[in-house]
Amino acid sequence: MVRKLTLLCIAAFVSCAVFAQTPSAWVGTWKVTWPNAKGRVQEAKLVVTEGGAGSWQTYTRALDNPCIGKEVPIQVERATDTEAKILLKFGDSIAGCTNSSVNLKVGENQAVTGTRGKLPLTLEKR
């Protein structure tokens, strides 16, 4: 029993340590853009901290959708120097909304791109 408890504590500590530091390539403020269904460019601000937290805010508002345009917390779920998966916590902070994941990668010439669902994203560090 003591052995299982010890292993559980070690696993919990290692899990916390993984999220404690986000690779510096991702830390900072980002301008995120993507095309909407009508071809117009949409924009959001993504802030990522060293601890793997931060925020996301879309600069568009929609009267019929309370999930759009609000600043919501984020959590870096995993990150390396060249890839990251970020959870946008809409559902955790706005009633009736659902969380969403963003997958990012560093490509040629250090360009950062990604996806949110089927939407292609382009990121520019501020």
Residue 49, domain CATH: 2.40.128.210
pLDDT at 8 over 70: no
pLDDT at 95 over 60: yes
In the chain, DSSP assigns E strands to 28-35, 41-48, 54-58, 72-79, 83-88, 100-106, 112-116, 119-125
Model confidence pLDDT, tens digit, residues 38-86: 889 999 999 999 999 999 999 988 888 889 999 999 999 999 999 999 9
Report the number of distinct structural domains present in the chain: 1
**Helix %, strand %, coil % of the chain (to 5):** 20, 45, 35
Model confidence pLDDT, tens digit, residues 24-37: 999 999 999 999 88
Q: Yes or no: say if 72 and 56 are a contact pair by the CB < 8 Å rule.
A: yes
Continuous H helices in 21-122:
90-93
Q: Which domain holds residue 34?
A: 2-125
Mean pLDDT of 1-15: 48
Confidence at residue 46, expressed as pLDDT on a 0 to 100 scale: 98
